[in-house]
Structures are given as structure tokens and as C-alpha cells.
Structure 1
Amino acid sequence: MWIPTAPPSLETFLAPTLQPIPLIPAIAALLALLYLAGAVRLWSARRKWPVWRTLTFLSGCLVIAVVMGAGIEGYGLRMFSVFMFQQLTLMMAVPPLLILGRPGTLLLRATPHWGPGRLVLRLAHAGLRSRISRIALHPGFMIPLFLISFYGVYLSDLADQLLPSWYGHVSLEVLFLAAGVLFTVPLISTDPLPIRQTHFGRFVDIFAEMPLHAFFGVIIMMATTPVVDFFAVLPASWEVDPITDQGIAGGLAWSYGELPSVLIVLFILVRWQRDDARQAVAADRHAETNGTPELDAYNAYISRLNDRADRAHRS
């Protein structure tokens, strides 16, 4: 692994510095190429595909490439605050960008129905119907996985065991991205899904995560000793105190980690209001066309009761 020696600065953070095995940036580049190929195929066939969704997905891939392929990745091997920034970006900022691009819908629309494409479509449909996908997107699985990515990794020896090696470091980064995607998909995705939550269920899920997420940041900020021994020693020439750096990491978890959650809450509320308005309009149109048999029957029943009461009163 490439580990920086120069003191941290904005210039060194953003300098293009690929690791010897840039696995995650390569995956991001491959995803971007596949997505762009699918969008171009639809456009070439004069089929509509929103440009803004394409730009959103490509932006998510670009963020992954920068966070994992620039100097940030090297400094994340030494500084807790930088590694926390990477984690929060992979879990909170990148997944909404990827999901709003609707890659699942693009896959189903752009993949040819012959040759290898037929096999890809069969696998995609099998994945949608599988029990594994239902479990992976269930709140009983995704919320604990999301929280384990914070509490389980840092408040145990797991981080100290995995971070020193390339395999462990990359495995944690993949875990963060996967946990973020699994948590975000049921909240904002409009792709075909094996299960789809109600708006109220999404609202409950995001509010169940937000306080625990913020509480983790407070724990890290208030700690007076190193939480992760791997980040306890920094080069003296950097003039960075490990405890101060740890406090910055906790502050990021509390602030930067909460901002995407608030935006998702607003997104859910707006979509909830739009769906309710759309259903109300559809119900009014249906009533105008077909009438309201149940309401008419109820009104007739009330009218008969009133007639009986009037007759009884007169008699």
C-alpha cells in the first residue's frame, strides 16, 4: 500500500495517487462504463432515458474514484478523521447518487434479449425473486448491518485487526459501500424491488438510524483515549494530535453523517405527499367515471333510517 509521508493538506488529499492495486476505483470505472453503454444504447434506439439520472450515477462513480483513488486513500491509512470521511462518503453520500440513477431499470431496458444478454436478464429476474434479496433489503437485516459498520467495527478489535493489511482495509471499504447501498435502496429506490416498503415504514427506518448514528459520533468525540490503536500514532512531522484527530472523526460522524439522512427524510416526505396527491386525483377521476357505489349505498341506508325515524315520530 502507498502510505504518504508529506503532511496532510488539501493539495495532497486530492492529488491523483492510486494504490498499487486500485480495486475500488477500477470497479467504479467499470460501473460507469457499463451504465454509460446502456444509456447510449437506449438513446441510439431513440428510447428515452433521463440525462439527469445518467449524470447522477456517473457522479457517484466519480466520487468513489476520487475518495478511493486520490491521496485521501493513503491518508486514510494513518488518520482516523480521513478514514471516517471515506466511510461516511461511501455509506451516506455515494449510495443515493448511484440509486437515483436507477441502474436496475436501465439494466432491464438496455440489455438485449439474445445471446449473453438473455442470461443477464434471467439472473436479474432470479435475483429479484430470491429470498436472499428479500432478506438483504429487510429492515431487520439492513439496519443492524448499517450500525455494525460503526459500533461493531470501532468499539471492538475488528478495526485493529483489519486495517493494517490491504485485504482488511479494502474489505472494510467494500463493507461500508455495501451497507450504505442496502440501507438506502428501500428508502429512495424506484427500481424494481423484491419488497417495497410503505412511506411510513421508510420514515420509521431512517429515524431509527439517525439518533444511533449521531450517538456514535458523540462517543468518539468524548473519548479521551484512542478508540482504534491503529490510528494512535502519527508522524511527528505532521504535527497532528491523534486525540484531536479522533475528535474530528467523531464530529464528522455526527455532522457529515447526519446531513444525507436529513436530505433523505425530506425526499421521503416529498414523495409521500406527491403519491397521496396522485392517488387522490385518481380516486376523484374514478368516482366521476364509475360513480361511488359504496358511498351511494351508505347514503341510501342512512336515508332509509331517517325515513323510518320520521314515520315513527309521526305515528
Structure 2
Amino acid sequence: MWALTTFGPIGHYAPLLFWVRALQVVLLLFVAPFLLASARPVAWLCALSTPVRRVVDRVLSSRVMRVALSPLTTSAAMLATPWLLYLTPWYVASMTGPLAAVTRVLLVLVGFGYYYTRMQVDPVPRRFSPLLSIGISVVESLADGLLGIVLWLGPLIAVDYYAALQRDWGPSLRTDQSIGAGILWILGDVLSIPFMVALMRQLGTDERRKAKRADAELDEATADGPSTLWWENDPVLRDRFSR
């Protein structure tokens, strides 16, 4: 996906058309990192050898990684990156030159940290309830839609840059930016559906794990303690029926 986005037609037209650049950003920030995180690369590294696993465990248990890979940090980075890219000089600077390649890699890294922390299919510094991840996703969908509205109804982005291209084909600057805003907003929400499905499956697995743990504790308590009827645990019913 990264190669297709970088070297294919998308990579060729991204510096020329706003909507193609928006499509490139969505694929690099959402799709490629999601596929990478789903492949469980950290678990694959740990399976290489015992020394590698020890290094990975040591790195993940460090205070720096516990903060950098927390849900709050990765979600904030995921939300802030598109805003900073489109509403600062970074947008024009990332079109061509060395910063363009750095930006493409950075988008994948930000997205991977986000999905890696939230999906928790790999070893992570700290695990948390999937309900927290689902709640964060609901808030994030609102923020993504807000950026789309700003780009759709707001002033044109990088007017001087696109005017200097002297492009006499394709949509106008306003139409081009409106299409790009729709891609960031609508396509971003559509691509979040597989992520939400994965979170719901994880929530179901977590609930079943908790139920099994509770059943095991109950069985252990029953085996260690005297056998009683259910109503004997209620003081009112015990006094009434024990007469």
C-alpha cells in the first residue's frame, strides 16, 4: 500500500491535485498502518529469538515508551497530524523534495502507533479496556469531520503553490479542494469501519475472558468453602427458611 501510494499514479498526481493528495494522506495515515498493525510485527520480532524478545520487552517496559504509546498520546498525534499538515506551511513543503519522503514515512509511523496501541493484538506497554478505545473513536470521528468542514467551507489552501503550477486541466481550485475535503471526511469515516469491527471483536473476546476468569474464581471459592444453597447467602432468606 505504501509503494502504491508513493510510486503509482497517486504519487505522481499528489503534488498537482489537492484531492489526490488528500487520498494519499488517507491511505498513508489510515490504511497502510492498519494493515501493518494487523500483521502483528512486534510479536513477529519477539518470535525471532530469546535475546530479541528480551530487548523488545525491555523497550516496551520503559517509561518513555509507556508514555509515547499510551492511548492519549497516540490519539492526540493522530488527530493533530492532519490539522498541522493542512493548516500550516508543512503542506506546501511536503509536496516535493526530501521533506515529501519524510512526511510519507511519518504519516505511516503516526498511524501505526495509533493502531498498534488501540488494537492491542501485539505486546504493548500497557493494556486497557476496549471500551476506552471505542469511546475515543467516537470522539475522533467528530474531529475528523470538523477538519473536512473547515477545508470544504474555509479559504483555499496553498493558493500560490497551485497557481504556480499553471495547470490548465482538471477541476478548479475550489472544486479540487472540496473533493479533497470530502475524501478526508467521508472516506476517512468509511475506512474506520474495519477498525471499529476489530475493536468490537476485541471487546467480545475481553468480556468472554473476564467471564471465564470469574467462573474459575467462583469454582475455586466453592471448592474451598462449604457447600451452601443460594438462598443461604442472603441473611433475610436464611433466617426465614432455616426456622
TM-score by length of 2: 0.85
Query: Any conservation in 1 of the 2:19–2:177 contact (CA below 8 Å)?
Result: yes
Pair 1:216 & 2:147 matched: yes
Q: Residue 210 of structure 1: CA displacement?
A: 1.0
SS at match of 1:239: coil
The letter of the residue matching 2:110 is: A
Pair 1:307 & 2:239 matched: yes
Pair 1:168 & 2:99 matched: yes
Q: Number of aligned residue pairs: give it.
A: 241
TM-score by length of 1: 0.67
TM alignment of 1:75-224, pairs within 5 A: 75-109=13-47, 111-113=48-50, 118=51, 120-160=52-92, 162-223=93-154
Q: Residue 270 of structure 1: CA displacement?
A: 2.4
Q: Residue 289 of structure 1: CA displacement?
A: 6.1
Q: Residue 122 of structure 1: CA displacement?
A: 4.2
Q: Residue 148 of structure 1: CA displacement?
A: 1.7
SS at match of 1:257: helix
Q: Residue 164 of structure 1: CA displacement?
A: 4.8
Distance 1:149 1:188 in 2: 20
- Match in the other structure for 1:284: 215
- Match in the other structure for 1:21: none
Q: Deviations over 1:16-36 (max 9, x none)?
A: xxxxxxxxxxxxxxxxxxxxx
CA RMSD of aligned residues (A): 2.8
Query: Any conservation in 2 of the 1:226–1:243 contact (CA below 8 Å)?
Result: yes
Q: Residue 260 of structure 1: CA displacement?
A: 2.3
The sequence identity of aligned pairs, in percent, is 22
Structure 1 pair 228–189 and aligned structure 2 pair: CA distance change class (3 A) = farther
Distance 2:86 2:61 in 1: 35
Distance 1:309 1:125 in 2: 57
Q: Which runs of 5+ in 2 are unaligned?
A: none
Structure 1 pair 177–296 and aligned structure 2 pair: CA distance change class (3 A) = farther
Q: Residue 129 of structure 1: CA displacement?
A: 1.3
Structure 1 pair 302–290 and aligned structure 2 pair: CA distance change class (3 A) = closer
- Match in the other structure for 2:178: 247
Q: Residue 232 of structure 1: CA displacement?
A: 4.6
Distance 1:281 1:208 in 2: 31
The letter of the residue matching 1:204 is: G
- Match in the other structure for 1:51: none
Distance 2:46 2:148 in 1: 40
Q: Residue 297 of structure 1: CA displacement?
A: 10
The letter of the residue matching 1:209 is: E
Q: Deviations over 1:195-248 (max 9, x none)?
A: 11211111122112111011111211223x422233455443423312111111
Structure 1 pair 112–267 and aligned structure 2 pair: CA distance change class (3 A) = closer
The letter of the residue matching 2:239 is: D
Query: Any conservation in 2 of the 1:146–1:180 contact (CA below 8 Å)?
Result: yes
Distance 1:296 1:233 in 2: 84
Q: Residue 94 of structure 1: CA displacement?
A: 1.3
